[in-house]
Amino acid sequence: MAKRTTIENPTALSDYLDRMETVGGESTLRQAAVAGARVVHKEVRLRAPVGVKGYERKGAPHSPGTLKRSILIAYDRENSVEGKLATYLVTWSRDAFYGYFVEHGTSKMAALPFLRPGFDAKRQEAVTQMIGVIQRKAKEAARG
């Protein structure tokens, strides 16, 4: 049985739909992805091991905690699809190139994982933050 619907204010409806379209846009997508990445970033920094003594490389002294300070959030252009998928990485800078060896270990050093456990511990909270950003943007768009 077909139902007939009459729209009394088509301009308002089209304005509302235009505003809701921005919720699924690139800006909202990236903001949501960054919100999730920040949660993981914070946890990974808390879990990153810190040495007890400094070291010298290329003639410059380095204090303990270089790995912890070098953990960052980076946008991954290669795996992102504009308007559909925004990929952010929680990784370390080149100053802490040895982060891989710490995370996975070597033949002479046991692994001290911090990246994967940090992600696993905060995965659900990151998703919650991402959903929160999208919902907030949807409410803002609905209000006009």
pTM metric for this prediction: 0.80
Q: For residue 131, which amino acid is it?
A: I
> What is the block-wise mean pLDDT of the chain (144 residues), using blocks of 10 residues?
77 72 80 96 96 84 89 95 89 92 96 96 97 91 77
Contacts of 96 (CB under 8 A, 6+ apart): 66, 67, 69, 70, 71
Instruction: Label residue 67 exposed, middle or buried (CB < 10 Å: 0-12, 13-18, 19+).
Output: buried
pLDDT, tens digit, for every residue of 77-108? Answer: 999 988 788 899 999 999 889 999 999 999 99
Q: Are 111 and 57 in contact (CB under 8 A)?
A: no
What's the pLDDT at 144? 67
In this structure, are residues 55 and 98 in contact, taking their beta carbons and an 8 Å threshold?
Answer: no
Domain locations along the chain: 28-143
